[in-house]
Amino acid sequence: MKISSQSRTLLLTAALFTLAALSAYAFLWFGIKRANERASLLGNEIEVAERGEQELKAMKTLVSDTKPLREKLDGYFIPADGAVVFFESVEALGAAAGVSVSLESVSVEPLPDSALAETVRVVVRAEGQFAAVLRFLALLETTPHAGQIEQFSFVANAPDKKGSSPWRADVTIRVLKLTAPAARTPS
């Protein structure tokens, strides 16, 4: 069986068209596959970005909702730059109670395992009438600062020229003080 040249040309042309069609089909199939993969990747990125945006909104809401509580909590500590204000507030407590107050000593001790806070140890001397000294101790004990009265002594002094016996209280207190400004968010 002899194949004519026209048939051979036709067969060769059909084979070339088939090969070209298969090549175009493969090219288009791989192109569509890559486009689908890219669309899926972009869809995942959009989903992650939306989730991040929702988390950011939730975090901003949480920050604004907890602002009063954080401000109240900040009041329990002496700010990093607020030691002088604290000492003045102790003296003001003495004035409010009607006693003379002097700060006898101040020392700072680091807190173990804390880079954000340290303890301030203050020895305060208050002198005045018995009731006023007791009132000062009560006021000192109820200050909002996170601390404690470590020790105190209560002594009756010798009568003064007026014949009254002033009392003296030496009180040692420890108060927490921040060492570095806490991370703040814009309000």
- The number of domains in the chain is 2
- Higher confidence at residue 3 or residue 86? 86
Residue ending a domain, choose from 42, 65, 88 = 65
Return the closest-CA partner of residue 125 out of 95, 99, 98, 144: 99
pLDDT at 187: 47
Which residues partner with 123 through β-bridges? 105, 172
Question: In this structure, are 108 and 167 located in the same domain?
Answer: yes
| 113 located within any domain | yes
Question: In this structure, are 124 and 150 located in the same domain?
Answer: yes
What is the extent of the structural domain holding 146?
77-178
Q: What whole-number distance in Å separates Cα of residue 148 and Cα of residue 173?
A: 6
> Is residue 145 within 8 Å of 78, Cβ to Cβ?
yes
| 72 located within any domain | no
Question: In this structure, are 37 and 125 located in the same domain?
Answer: no
Question: In this structure, are 55 and 82 located in the same domain?
Answer: no
Query: Which domain CATH number covers 158?
Result: 3.30.70.60
Read off the pTM: 0.59
| 22 located within any domain | yes
Question: In this structure, are 154 and 84 located in the same domain?
Answer: yes
Burial profile 91-108: b = 16 or more Cβ within 10 angstroms, e = fewer: eebbeebebebeeeeeee
Contacts of 169 (CB under 8 A, 6+ apart): 125, 126, 127, 133, 136, 137, 152, 153, 154, 155
Q: pLDDT-derived band of residue 4, with 50, 70 and 90 as boundaries? A: confident
**Which tens digits make up the pLDDT trace of 137-169?**
888 888 877 778 888 888 887 777 776 668 899
| 185 located within any domain | no
Q: What is the mean pLDDT of residues 96-112?
A: 88
Question: In this structure, are 57 and 93 located in the same domain?
Answer: no
> Is residue 175 within 8 Å of 87, Cβ to Cβ?
no
